Amino acid sequence: MARFVEITKEWGVDTESVPARMLIAHSGFNLVLLRDGKGLTLQPDKKGMIGVHEITKRFSISKVKKLLTNFNRPRNLTPETSDTWDELLTKAVDLADGDSARPIIVTGNVRGDVTLKAVRDKREDTSIKIAVVSTRTIKVAFNYVGYVMSQRSRHEHTSREPGDAGELLKQLNRIFAPQGNIVFQMSRPAQWVWVDGGLDKIVTLSDLPKFKDKGDPAANWNVFFVGEVETKVVAGRKGPADNDAAFTVPGISVVEDVGGKDTLVHEAGHFAGSTKDLVFGGHEASEGHSNWLTFSPWKLRTGNKLNWRYAIEFNARAK
């Protein structure tokens, strides 16, 4: 039986959903592979919303790129994902045989939902549901927290450095740009922010007023890096409870040193509107779904793939 499948991982095609689903940027394009679809005709159920262009075995990579110049450059194409785009196009050309593998370029012409059907003699053999969505740009500010005891006594609360910010931004865009059409940009260069007076070793929600106004007012999302964070300190413990690696309130996330790139990606999901401590992918964490990005528990997090439902939700809320 014919089926639509992803050409490369983590690029806006969720083929573990039934039916398969796909995300496309408005005025951009994406690719999907029709397996075992020889002789099938491709028909969108709504005219004009998408364009459908098959890559045949006569195509070279240069011909594909020339064809794509007729469409807008994908707005979710970032420096972190441009190499993957080239790999995706090359792989599509290599796969094309017109029989068991038919790579399809789908362009997003009008925002909304549409189903692309593969039919034979007016009967549907398989289909893929497609959402054409806007590309969202999120302005993020990375703030590294320290405190000042006197004019000559500055103390860095976090062991992180502003020079780390570039890699953190790359991680966000590698995941959210191709899969959710959400692009993160720095609202200002990463920098230290200084709190007057002391700051406890463990930062809690009650400490947030001490530094939240030192973020960038032009940013949609201010991230503050501290040494240790807990939403609350457990009574009777001499040391940190170590239950949390970060917390997020509207427009602000506070992330501790132990929380790495994965923690920041997790908090980005909360920033984008998810309040659910569920598997981020929306699929059960099991052997059959080993590459999904998860919320909690962290031991289940094994990959970077977003489920269709969450990708749509995040794109709609990330404004």
* Pick from 98, 124, 80: nearest CA to 37: 98
Q: Please tell me which residue, 190 or 243, carries the higher pLDDT value.
A: 190
Task: Report the amino acid identity of residue 9.
Answer: K
* Pick from 309, 291, 311, 310: nearest CA to 301: 291
What is residue 283's predicted lDDT score, i.e. its pLDDT?
A: 40
Q: What region, left, alpha or beta, does residue 71 occupy, with left being phi > 0 and alpha being psi -120 to 50 degrees? A: beta
Quote the percentage of the chain above a pLDDT of 70: 80
For the domain spanning 3-133, the CATH number is 2.60.40
Mapped to the 3 state alphabet, what secondary structure does 283-295 carry?
A: CCCCHHHCCECCC
Element (H, E) at 89: helix 82-95
What is residue 284's predicted lDDT score, i.e. its pLDDT?
A: 41
Element (H, E) at 14: strand 13-14
- Count Cα neighbours of 59 within 13 Å in the Cβ-side half-sphere: 26
Contact residues for 65 (Cβ-Cβ < 8 A; gap 6+) = 89
Give per-residue pLDDT as tens, 100-157.
899 999 999 999 999 999 999 989 999 999 999 988 899 999 999 998 887 778 888 9
- In the structure encoding, which two tokens stand for residue 61, read together? 């990579």
What is residue 166's predicted lDDT score, i.e. its pLDDT?
A: 92
Residue 295 pLDDT greater than 90, yes or no: no
Antiparallel, parallel or unpaired: β 153-156 and 252-256? unpaired
Confidence of residue 34 (pLDDT cuts 50, 70, 90): very high
In this structure, are residues 181 and 315 in contact, taking their beta carbons and an 8 Å threshold?
Answer: yes
In this prediction, residues 226-239 reach a mean pLDDT of 64
What is residue 79's predicted lDDT score, i.e. its pLDDT?
A: 58
| Mean pLDDT for all residues in the chain | 81
Reported CATH class of domain 136-317: alpha beta
Give per-residue pLDDT as tens, 197-212.
878 888 888 899 999 9
pTM over cut 0.75: yes
Query: Structural domain boundaries of the chain?
Result: 3-133, 136-317
Question: Which of 63-77, 80-94, 120-134, 287-301 shows the lowest mean pLDDT across its residues?
Answer: 287-301
Reported residue count of the chain is 319
Residue 285 pLDDT greater than 80, yes or no: no
Rounded CA separation 175/311 (Å) = 10
